[in-house]
Amino acid sequence: MSVAIRTSQNVLLEYEPASIGERILAAIIDYVVIFGWLMLTLALPSSLGFRVNSFYSILVLLPVVTYDLVSEWLLNGRSLGKIAMKIRVVMLDGSPPNLGAYLIRWLLRMVESVAFLGESFPLLP
């Protein structure tokens, strides 16, 4: 199923949206990157005998929480997983999203996570 868009210059553009499989694989790659970051910055220092305090943990978790927002914004709609799968985020009309659109995606992703995980979500009081 391709999507056709008529631009303001009356040019018809057609593109193929990413399949659900491509999106899932891109998300898995992103989760592997995040897991690797956590292992490198939290588990490795702890296993070497370094004491990990709460300030350090918050500093390490900041890139995890903002990974989607920052990577999609700085990499033109792509995260490392999306780059590997050769897909990107675009607006419905095919144009690149602005920071506001990325921010809304990021906030809704957090809402979905809370809704999906329910009471088992560790950051909720």
Span 19-60, pLDDT tens digits: 999 999 999 999 999 999 988 888 888 787 887 788 888 888
Pick 89 or 118 by higher pLDDT: 89
- pTM for the structure as a whole: 0.78
pLDDT grade, residue 125 (50/70/90)?
very low
Cα dist from 103 to 1, 77, 93, whole Å: 28, 12, 18
**Is the pLDDT confidence value at 88 over 50?**
yes
pLDDT the model gives residue 55: 85
Q: What whole-number distance in Å separates Cα of residue 19 and Cα of residue 118?
A: 27
The mean predicted confidence, pLDDT, of the chain is: 85
Q: What pLDDT score was predicted for residue 8?
A: 76
3-state helix/strand/coil string of the chain: CCEEEECCCCCEEEECCCCHHHHHHHHHHHHHHHHHHHHHHHHHHHHCCCCCCHHHHHHHHHHHHHHHHHHHHHCCCCCHHHHHHCCCCCCCCCCCCCHHHHHHHHHHHHHHHHHHHHHHCCCCC
